[in-house]
Amino acid sequence: MSLLTRKEWIIDSVYQNCKGPGTGTLAYVRGGTENVVDLDKVRSIFWDNGQFDTFDASGNYHSYTWNITNKDSTNLTIISESNYTISGKILKLDATHFVFYDSTNNAIDFQKAKD
């Protein structure tokens, strides 16, 4: 999990309404002019101790918890302060890219490590 933790992740693009391979609607692209949502301010850091710090689309800070829920380290759960749970699957993770299928919200988030 060292690929995931201790680095700042920013949203590169988001597809909403994903119900399977090849489905969904492009809602956000960093630097785009026709985005459905503005995620330019979203920043996230996963910490080794299970804490997840993030700034939302409005720039507000939140502290959540996170954990991996399977042996192959692909099922990720994030729990908010109010116990709202986001569950999904890590589709790609390397030193600079993090792709997450958010099954709670039917979205795919393409994130990159901030330079």
* Alpha carbon distance 72, 76 (integer Å): 11
Per-residue pLDDT tens digits of the chain, which is 115 residues long: 889 999 999 999 999 999 877 889 999 999 999 999 999 999 999 999 999 999 999 999 999 999 999 998 999 999 998 899 999 999 999 999 999 999 999 999 999 999 8
Q: In this structure, what DSSP letter does residue 3 have?
A: T
pTM for this predicted structure:
0.92
| Domain residue spans of the chain | 8-113
- Which amino acid, 108? I
Q: In this structure, what DSSP letter does residue 5 have?
A: B
- Which amino acid, 102? D
CATH of 8-113 given 3.40.50.720, 2.40.128.270, 3.40.50.10490, 3.30.360.10: 2.40.128.270
* Alpha carbon distance 24, 96 (integer Å): 24
